[in-house]
Each structure stands twice: as C-alpha cells, then as structure tokens.
Amino acid sequence: MMVRMDNVVSIVPDPDEPEEAVSTLAFRAAQAAIGSVAIAVGTAAEVVRQAAGLPEGEAGPDKDRTSLLAGAALGFVTESARTAAAFADAAARAARPVAVAGSAVAAPLARIAEDLLARWDDSWERERPDAEALAGSVAAEATRRGVDAVLDQLDLTAIVQERVDLDRIVASVDIDAVARRIDVDAIVARMDMEALIERIDVNTIADRIDVDRLLDRLDLSALSLEVFDRIDLPEIIRASTGSVASESVRGVRIESVAADDAIARFVDRLLRRRPPERGP
C-alpha cells in the first residue's frame, strides 16, 4: 500500500482560527493515530501477503470485502473519536458547575468504567504477543526496504572516495598485528616450492655476483696467516708426507743431538770442568 504524501493534512493549527477547541485537538490526535495504524496495518498486510506467496494482482471479492470492512472500521473509529471528542468538550464545559455536586454520583460510574477498562486491558494483554511479533516483523521489513531504497539512490563507493580520508584510516590500522595473525607457514605449505625453484635461474644470479669485489673485501693473506697460526702446519705436512724415511731421519737427528750432549757431559766430567750454560 502506497502512502500518498501530497494530501497529508497539516497538523499545525490554522492561525486564522483564534481559539481552537480542546475537542478539535483531541480529534486531530485521534485522526493521526488512526492514520498511523492504518499505514501500519496496510504495510503489515502487504508483508503477510508476500510471506504467504500470494500475487499482488489477485483481487477477489473477499479482498474487496476485507478492504471494505477495514475502511469501515477505520471510519467508524474515526467517527467515534470525533463524537468522543465532542462529548468530551461538552462534558468539560458542563463539568465546571456540577463538579462538586456530582462527586456522589460519579463514584459508582467510575467503578463501572474501571471494570470496563480492566476487561479491555485483559483482552489486549492476550493479544499482545502476537501483535508485537507482527509489529516487529513489520518494522524489520520496513527498515530493510527503506535502507534498500536509500542505498539504491546512493553511490556509496563514490561517496567513500570523496568524503573518507583513506590514508588516515590505513595509518590507524596496525599492520603488524594483522601480519602476526597471518599463518605464513600455512601459506608456504600451500605453495609449490619445486615449481618456484624451477623458475629461478641460479646461473643468472651467479653471473650477477661480482666475485672479484667480494674477494677484495677479504684480507686473504691475513686470513691465511691466521689459519696457519692456529693449525700445526709442520705436523700436518709431516703427517701427510710422512714417509718412514722422514720419520727415521727425524729420529736419527734427535738421537744424534742427545748423543752430542751425552758426549759433551762426559768430556766435561773427564776434564773436571763445569758444563756450559747450554741445555742438556
């Protein structure tokens, strides 16, 4: 049901009328409430119709009758509200002189009115859950349609590009935290490393390396001297070229030196002189 906005009655009081009666204001309030209810009922009926899967064009005599009854009910309520407002107005005018005297008569009437109100309230309380659920679904559907209608009219992307400072938003994002949440291992596990390696030309990379410059940065002579210093080079050479002959020669040399010293000590003793300072 479409609501025609061009023939909405102004609720602002007409300034030409100097004093508007209380009954007129009350009637207008009732009229607004009934109109709102009518709109809500119309929307709800539409939602229920769509939920039930009935096509819009299906217009039978029952539907006409329903519309007729609904309109009649609304008109009746409107007329009732108008009459009630007139009565209330008249009562307000008449009540002033008889207010004091009528208190004795008013007490039983008030009790009856209270009973009537209590019955109506019970009836409302019984209907309330269904009515509220229906109203909730109506509100949700109405909101969805309204938002859709608004969004259809807007180019959100353009608006964001025009109005939003994306740089500032990106600057406020903690990329590190995001990166920490990324499971790189899982990503790597999904990758085909063999295919990746096959695409890398190692020779091309090696060609790009300036080996000479790399070597220039190394002090090779100092490095080799340090290496020689740490290892027992004579021992290694002896071990690698260590023939029986060289070992024998070494033994002969050592033995000869020992024999030299022995002879020297013997001669020293024979000549009764002290041995010189040199070692054994």
Partner 1 sequence: MSDLQVVPAEARRFQGRPAGIVTRVVANAIDLATAVVVAGAIYLAWACALFLRHGRSFTFPTVSSPIAITVLLVALAAIFALAWATSGQTYGDRVLGLRVQRVDGGPVGRVRALVRAIICVALPLLLFWAAISRDRRSVQDLLVGTSVVYDWGPAVRRPSGDAIGPGVDVAAAITHEPNERQPEPVGGLDREG
Q: First-to-last CA distance in the chain?
A: 128
Number of residues that bind partner 1 (CB under 8 A): 31
**Contacts to partner 1 from residues 20-49, by CB under 8 A:** none
- What is residue 8's DSSP assignment? P
We find the least distance from the C-beta atom of residue 187 to partner 1, in angstroms, to be: 54
Shortest approach of partner 1 to residue 215 CB, angstroms?
Answer: 20
Which residues are CB-contacts of 179 (< 8 A; sequence separation ≥ 6)? Answer: none
Q: What is the DSSP letter of 111?
A: H
Q: Among 15, 18, 129, 276, which residue sits at the site for partner 1 (rule: CB under 8 A)? A: 276
Residue 112: helix, strand or coil by DSSP?
helix
Q: How far is the CB of 224 from partner 1 (least distance, A)?
A: 10
Do 86 and 94 form a contact (C-beta atoms < 8 A)?
no
Taking the least distance from each CB to partner 1, the nearer of 116 and 249 is 249
Nearer to partner 1, 181 or 278 (CB): 278
CA–CA separation, 172 and 175 (whole Å)? 9
Which of residues 108 and 234 has its CB atom nearest to partner 1 in the complex? 234
Nearer to partner 1, 59 or 225 (CB): 225
For residues 76-114, b (16+ Cβ closer than 10 Å) or e, as one string?
ebbeebbeebeeebeeeeeeeeeeeeeeeeeeeeeeeee
Binding partner 1 (rule: CB under 8 A), the pick from 229, 230, 240, 244 is: 229
Residue closer to partner 1 by CB (options 89, 261) is 261
Q: How far is the CB of 218 from partner 1 (least distance, A)?
A: 19
Interaction mask 246-275, partner 1, x per CB under 8 A: ---xx-xxx-xx-xxx-xxx-x---x-xxx
Question: Residues 116 to 175: which contact partner 1 by CB under 8 A?
Answer: none
Read off the tokens for 212.
Answer: 């000479």
Cα-based distances in Å from 272 to 202, 266, 269, 275: 81, 10, 5, 9
Report the sign of the C-alpha dihedral through residues 254, 256, 257, 261, in that order. Answer: positive
Question: Judged by CB under 8 A, does residue 15 bind partner 1?
Answer: no
Which residues form the interface with partner 1 (CB under 8 A)?
Answer: 225, 228-229, 232-235, 237-238, 249-250, 252-254, 256-257, 259-261, 263-265, 267, 271, 273-279
